[in-house]
Amino acid sequence: MTLSPIEQTKSWVSQVIVGYNFCPFAKKEVVNNTIEYVDSQTESHEDAVIEMLSLIQQMRENDEIETCLHIFSKGFQNFDDFLDLVDLANAMLVSSGYEGFIQIANFHPDYVFADSDESDAANYTNRAPYPTLHLIREASMARVLDIHPDPEGIPETNIKLAREKGISFWQQLLNHCQTGKKD
């Protein structure tokens, strides 16, 4: 049985993001079923950004969608190409008047932080089954950050956990999310 890109991403959110508390705010959205998952077939930067703007408009019109994972199962497999998409998406967010309403986080199977080595397990805090733009309501994020005891410490805690578990652990978990099978 092959899992769809949406099923793989839901598994990743459940097992990695919620399971290891990489985002302390995600569990509520999973439980409340307020995450929109969209599998995009587009491979061009322009089409991807047009889709993203349409998704943001849907979020503006529907308060039931708290956050959206815009998954690219066909395009942007090259990490540098994906980073170009992220730059364009952020620019279009601003020029379209959505700055202040939505912020974009990003995930990729080959994610490497700018100041990191490719073999650093900390990169797995932003590795996902597919290239993904995470569209987040800024007002909601501000509310949860205001009540979190240490919002600045979240990335440090995640990096520490990622390094403690190691690359093989995270890769095996990511593989499991993609296949639905334990190695």
Residue 79 binned pLDDT confidence (cut-offs 50, 70, 90): very high
pLDDT tens-place string over residues 129-172: 999 999 999 999 888 888 888 989 999 999 999 999 999 999 99
Residue 97 binned pLDDT confidence (cut-offs 50, 70, 90): very high
Q: Which residues pair with 133 in a beta bridge?
A: 70, 106
**pLDDT of amino acid 144:** 85
Q: Which residues pair with 72 in a beta bridge?
A: 40
What whole-number distance in Å separates Cα of residue 38 and Cα of residue 52?
10
Q: Average pLDDT over the chain, rounded to whole?
A: 95
What whole-number distance in Å separates Cα of residue 166 and Cα of residue 124?
9
| Over residues 49-56, mean pLDDT | 98
**pLDDT of amino acid 148:** 86
Sheet holding 35-40, edge to edge: 35-40, 67-72, 132-137, 102-107
What whole-number distance in Å separates Cα of residue 161 and Cα of residue 20?
8
pLDDT(183) > 70: no
**pLDDT of amino acid 90:** 98
26-50: burial string, b at 16+ Cβ within 10 Å, e else: beebeeeebbbbbbbebeebeebbe
pLDDT(120) > 70: yes
pLDDT(14) > 90: yes
What whole-number distance in Å separates Cα of residue 101 and Cα of residue 53?
12
Q: Which residues pair with 132 in a beta bridge?
A: 71, 107
**pLDDT of amino acid 1:** 66
